[in-house]
Each structure stands twice: as structure tokens, then as C-alpha cells.
Homo-oligomer: A and B are copies of this chain.
């Protein structure tokens, strides 16, 4: 197996292992926000409001799943939905203040944890790693 192939194998394996651990770590990091709900809130926030269909396609989730998650988040008062004035079928999702606060806290927790594990990396390596991941993710 060539060097390139074995590198690709490593990438595959490491990313898979990461995925397998992610749920557990997310629940450790911010117990009141699951990996899914965190991701959804985060996307809504970054996009400045978005529709359920966007969330579904971005995370490759069924729309029914998103519908329920959104319902749960709304019940918790973390987001609001407004019917899209331009399209009465759709609705626009936005985090509430409470949602934003929770999101910020969770992000802070995550950042602490991530920062800690990069202590022995120098800046250039961190930057390059981020670039590679972004490049990889962009094609997802």
C-alpha cells in the first residue's frame, strides 16, 4: 500500500473513531445540550436564522428528525419559529436570547477543552490542521 493510501486509511480510521466518541464527549462537555441540538442551534446562529429543510440537508438528517428536535428546542424556549413571509409553507428558525446564552456557554466549554488538548501544538500546526479540516468539510 502506497504512502498516500496508508495516509488515507489513517484519516478514515481517525475520523471514524472521532465520530464514535463524539456523542459521549458532547454530553460530558455540555450536559443540557446534546450533540444534535447543539449543532442545530449553532447552525441557526451562524446562518442568522434558517429553515428546517436547511438543517436537514446540512446534517443529512430526515426532516422528521429535525422537526422533532426543533420542537424540543422550542419547548425549552431556546428558539422561536416565525412563518416565512415569502413562503407560507416554511418557517424561519432563530435562537432566542436563552438559546444564544446556552450556545455561548457550550461553545466556551468546548473551546476550553479543545484548547487544552492543543497545548503542545504550535500555532502553525493548529492553523494548518484547521485548514485541512475545513477543506475536507467543504466537500462533504
Contact = CB atoms under 8 A, between A and B. Distances in A.
A94 to B, nearest CB: 19
Interface in A52-100: 58-61
A33 to B, nearest CB: 12
Contacts of A22: 15-16, 19-20, 22
Contacts of A10: 130, 133-134
Given A117-B139, A128-B128, A123 B14 contact: no
Main SS class of interface, A: helix
Interface residues of A, number: 55
A25 B133 CA distance: 17
A102 interface: no
A32 interface: no
Interface of A: 3-26, 35-36, 38-39, 42, 58-61, 110-111, 114-115, 117-118, 121, 123, 125-130, 132-137, 139-140
Q: Which 5 A-B pairs have the closest CB atoms?
A: A19-B22, A7-B130, A14-B133, A10-B130, A24-B60
